[in-house]
Amino acid sequence: IIDRGKKLRSHPAFSDSNTSFLRAARAGNIEKVLDFLKSGQDIATCNQNGLNALHLAAKEGHVQLVEELLERGATVDSSTKKGNTALHIACLAGQKEVAKLLVKRGADVNSQSQNGFTPLYMAAQENHLDVVQYLLENGGNQSIATEVCDCESCVCVFPFFATCPYKYLLKRGECLHISIDCGFYDLLLNGFTPLHIAAHYGNVNVATLLLNRGAAVDFTAKNGITPLHVASKRGNTNMIVLLLDRGSQIDAKTRDGLTPLHCAARSGHDTAVELLLERGAPILARTKNGLSPLHMSAQGDHVECVKHLLQHKAPVDDVTLDYLTALHVAAHCGHYRVTKLLLDKKANPNARALNGFTPLHIACKKNRVKVMELLVKYGASIQAITESGLTPVHVSAFMGHLNIVLLLLQNGASPDVCNIRGETALHMAARAGQMEVVRCLLRNGALVDAMAREDQTPLHIASRLGQTEIVQLLLQHMAYPDASTTNGYTPLHISAREGQVETATVLLEAGASHSLTTKASLPYMLLLSMEAWMWQNSSYSGEHFLMTLER
């Protein structure tokens, strides 16, 4: 058996001498570092992250040791695994004297890491004003953009800006588009300049210096993101003032159509929202999907931002391209406070999206009980129908939200309204296998033999899908076991065709006739199909089924 500990110690990266050498460099112990080098220690020795003695000494500001290492052959632009040089590291740590020495010894002042960061970015990020100034005076190029991510999921755009749809489905065709929010880190990988970075971190002094040195105030990354978008997203009001005073376009749009006001509203920075509005930000600006700043605030549950926008005359029922109002968005997210505020400001509780969904449909679909009750209290119609004929009861029944179904019924909703396919809530609950919802609907008077298109009853649907418990429950509530479709198919025909032996057995035990024929005259084929299925399924007793059939 291999001694794993010995194996690791024998590896150069884990040897005691290598570790001690790097520790000495980090501590600035010149004498000890020189002793190691005299005994044959490789000056390029690095740890598992690629940090060598020069990197560690630069980080800690050990100027004399840095100079000694360079004199003894250390490569001035050697990089870590992430592509950072000693100059990157010194600038990030604010070690101006080390940075000056490295530049004097030939370090590339515009060297880029794997993510495209230059030393200037590093200094700007950490607000090291003196280092930023030195780099700018010595060839630092603030127009070099960071690398752009190729990630398809964030469509190569500052993720939280993406108006990529959040798909909200009941079934195919019942879709609503709501914008998404992702992490901020990818911002740094999308073609930003040092001014973008300074805007992100709120480093006003650095931003002022960059602007004084010629930085373009509205430099746009590949996706149209300006420093003002970044500052607004972060709620850095002092930075917003600086950028606007320097001529930044308050109505600048990203590739997806977001303005700085959208960014501030989505992040809930009410002070930034108020500032932008006072400076003339377009309150009616829309993204490519038609989302307004009000939609953004509603999505984030930012009550104060919603108040500011409404006080500045934002239309409370403003709609997206899919005719979604802010109330739809708040209902989708389950934001009670924003929902109430919008309703108090006379938002239409029965506003219909392009597919006919009202806020109540959405609240029922997402099981937002408190929001659903609030909407009903403010006059939302419990019988509202979508373009495909769905009522809130249909939606909640299909999703299995028993508490919502019960509340709707208690508020007078009919369980027997049909959608465009003629299906009631009972049909949809049976299809989705929602046993408790089926029980609730039946107890509240739902028609057990309601007929949908082609005269299908809930029993037909449950039989086709092998929902045996639901079949039993429907039969207990006097569902007609021999109900036939327009083609003459009974639930027994359908369960036989689909190979649902257990369901067929339950139907036969309930008195379903095995001699009825379809319009295609298929009584005997029923038996043949069941027999074939039983031969394939040895775990089920075929004899039991045949005895039931003969009874």
pLDDT at 67: 95
- Report whether pLDDT(291) > 80: yes
For all residues of the chain together, what is the average pLDDT? 85
Q: Which of 380, 441, 435 is nearest to 409 (CA)?
A: 441
Residue 137 CB neighbours (<10 A)? 9
- Report whether pLDDT(183) > 80: no
pLDDT at 530: 53
pLDDT at 178: 31
Spell 410-433 as b/e; 16+ CB within 10 A means b: eeebbbebbbeeebbbbbbbbbbe
pLDDT digits (tens, 9 = 90+) for 128-142: 989 998 998 898 888
Q: Provide mean pLDDT across the span 39-48.
A: 93
For 70, residues 6+ apart whose C-beta sits below 8 A from its C-beta are 54, 76, 101, 105
Q: Residue 285 and residue 250: Cα distance in Å, rounded?
A: 11
pLDDT at 141: 86
Q: Residue 415 and residue 424: Cα distance in Å, rounded?
A: 7
Q: Which CATH class is domain 4-141?
A: mainly alpha
- Report whether pLDDT(184) > 90: no
pLDDT digits (tens, 9 = 90+) for 292-349: 999 999 999 999 999 999 999 999 999 999 999 999 999 999 999 999 999 999 999 9
Counting Cα atoms < 13 Å in the Cβ hemisphere of 377 gives 11
Domain ranges of the chain: 4-141
pLDDT digits (tens, 9 = 90+) for 388-433: 999 999 999 999 999 999 999 999 999 999 999 999 999 999 999 9
Q: Residue 455 and residue 458: Cα distance in Å, rounded?
A: 10
What residue type is assigned to position 378 of the chain?
A: Y
pLDDT-based confidence at residue 86 (cuts at 50, 70, 90): very high
Q: Provide mean pLDDT across the span 248-260.
A: 95
Q: Provide mean pLDDT across the span 280-290.
A: 95
Secondary structure of residue 177 in the 3-state scheme: strand
pLDDT at 176: 31
- Report whether pLDDT(39) > 50: yes
CB 423 within 8 A of CB 392: no
pLDDT at 147: 52
pLDDT at 115: 80
- Report whether pLDDT(155) > 50: no
- Report whether pLDDT(160) > 50: no
pLDDT at 513: 86
In the chain, the percentage of residues whose pLDDT exceeds 70 is: 83
Q: Residue 346 and residue 325: Cα distance in Å, rounded?
A: 12
pLDDT at 529: 54
Q: Provide mean pLDDT across the span 200-217.
A: 92
CA distance readout (Å), 266 to 156, 274, 280, 281: 20, 13, 18, 15
